[in-house]
Amino acid sequence: MSEPVIVAVGSMRRPKLDAVRETLILIAARLSPESIFEACGFDVPSGVRHTPLTREDTMSGARQRAEALVAIARQQREPWKYFVGLEGGLDIVRESNRRFVFLQNWAYVTDGQGMSAFGQSAGLLLPDALVTKVVDQGVELSEAIDSFAGGEGIRDGQGAWGVLTCGLVTRRDALRGALISAFAPFLNRGRPRA
């Protein structure tokens, strides 16, 4: 049996690692039919605030996590094949003189050899109570959602997604959608162009 293909993930959080593992199960046969994939988590910084308040910062956080892993792999001569950064954050939109704040997840995948892609989850509208705490008062979303839901450590389980959708979409589910989108260009590599 050949060595597993290592997918380095820029987080040690269970929902993120589970999302990567589930995504790899879905795409492995298309990505590399003969390979066994293994997701390994590493604690690397995002370079952005705990709860990014713009789409650009959220995307940057995901990219910087993946790029930190590429740097580690080069420095330590690790044979990692793919590098994944995941970041959750907010997208603040103004429309008809109203402010709408959406929770989004972004994934960034690179092979460290020049191919990379972003993927985005759906957006989840935050209720005003959370917007006030997180955007206006600067409270980290993980703390605000714990208070909102009367729980503790919610981000390591269902996340704000699970709380706000009554369990219909969890943090892991939202991350998985972003990951599939980010891996899509890799799945289509080598296809003839029209």
Phi, psi of 117 (to 5 degrees): -160, 150
Percent of the chain with pLDDT over 70: 97
Residue-wise DSSP of 159-185: HHHHHHTTTSS-HHHHHHHHHHHHHHH
Does residue 194 register a pLDDT over 70? no
CATH number of 5-187: 3.90.950.10
Question: Where on the phi/psi map is residue 48: left (φ > 0), alpha (ψ -120 to 50), or beta?
Answer: beta
Does residue 102 register a pLDDT over 90? yes
Domain boundaries, the chain: 5-187
Mean pLDDT of 161-179: 96
pLDDT of residue 189: 82
pTM across the whole model: 0.94
How far apart (Å, rounded) are the C-alpha atoms in residues 188 and 186? 5
